[in-house]
């Protein structure tokens, strides 16, 4: 039976984040700070949108739907977890780690500065130059850790596809997948909530980026 799993806002968030992380790496490696900061602003808006969407979005996008405790995760690993659409309990951990790392990278980037201090992050004026330099170093380390976790995430997707015959990429493109009988499909949120999440994310991001 074909069922809806992911709503459009969740899927757009996922793929835009993939593109922006790659662009952030490229601009960082080539020291194109103008575009690196612009991409950072876009990622900040995306993260804020996802946090809001995790509260008011479609059923499978909500944190309350897929974030589970250790007992449920252990049950899933033993193969005893009930069937459900969306993230499995282990996948939920991956989502939280990746979202947390992206948030950390962006937060550190807000306080970072360049070598000569002529092109600092939007919040670097709130701390000393020495602290901004340290934030820059931690920003780079956190981004490297993020890349490692992205590689682990991709490897997990490949494992599910090759060994468990479970295609996790297709549903994130189409929004639908085959599901067992009796499983509740996605309950989408009304369109106005998407607009509300976008407006809130944009306003908060702009407030942060303007240096408070």
How confident is the model over 31-82, as pLDDT tens digits? 999 999 999 999 999 999 999 999 999 999 999 999 988 888 888 878 777 7
- Specify the pLDDT at position 124: 94
Number of domains in the chain: 1
- For the stretch 69-98, pLDDT in tens is 888 888 887 877 777 788 888 889 999 999
CA distance 202 to 45: 6
- Specify the pLDDT at position 204: 97
Burial of 38 (0-12, 13-18, 19+ CB in 10 A): middle
3 phi and psi angles, rounded to 5 deg:
-135, 155
Domain that includes residue 43, residue range: 2-209
184 phi and psi angles, rounded to 5 deg:
-75, 125
Confirm if 24 and 36 have CB atoms less than 8 A apart: yes
- Specify the pLDDT at position 207: 97
CATH code, domain carrying 150: 1.20.950
pTM exceeds 0.85: yes
Q: Is 116 a residue whose pLDDT tops 80?
A: no
pLDDT bracket for residue 193 (50, 70, 90): very high
- For the stretch 135-159, pLDDT in tens is 999 999 999 999 999 999 999 999 9
Element (H, E) at 73: helix 70-77
**Choice between 83 and 104, residue whose per-residue pLDDT is larger:** 104
Q: Is 183 a residue whose pLDDT tops 90?
A: no
- For the stretch 6-22, pLDDT in tens is 999 999 999 999 999 99
DSSP 189: P
């Amino acid at each position: 039976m074909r069922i809806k799993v992911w709503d459009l806002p969740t899927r757009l968030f996922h793929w835009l984040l993939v593109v922006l992380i790659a662009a952030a790496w490229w601009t960082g490696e080539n020291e194109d700070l103008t575009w690196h900061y612009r991409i950072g602003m876009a990622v900040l808006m995306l993260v804020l949108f996802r946090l809001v969407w995790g509260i008011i979005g479609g059923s499978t996008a909500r944190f309350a739907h897929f974030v589970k405790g250790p007992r449920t995760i252990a049950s899933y690993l033993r193969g005893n977890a009930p069937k459900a659409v969306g993230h499995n309990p282990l996948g939920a951990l991956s989502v939280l780690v990746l979202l947390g790392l992206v948030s950390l990278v962006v937060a550190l980037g807000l306080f970072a500065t360049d070598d000569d201090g002529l092109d600092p992050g939007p919040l670097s004026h709130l701390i000393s130059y020495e602290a901004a330099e340290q934030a820059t170093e931690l920003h780079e380390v956190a981004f490297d850790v993020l890349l490692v976790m992205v590689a682990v995430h991709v490897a997990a997707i490949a494992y599910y596809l090759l060994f468990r015959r479970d295609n996790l990429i297709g549903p994130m493109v189409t929004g639908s997948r085959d599901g067992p009988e009796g499983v509740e499909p996605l309950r989408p949120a009304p369109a106005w909530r998407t607009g509300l999440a976008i407006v809130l994310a944009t306003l908060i991001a702009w407030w942060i980026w303007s240096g408070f």
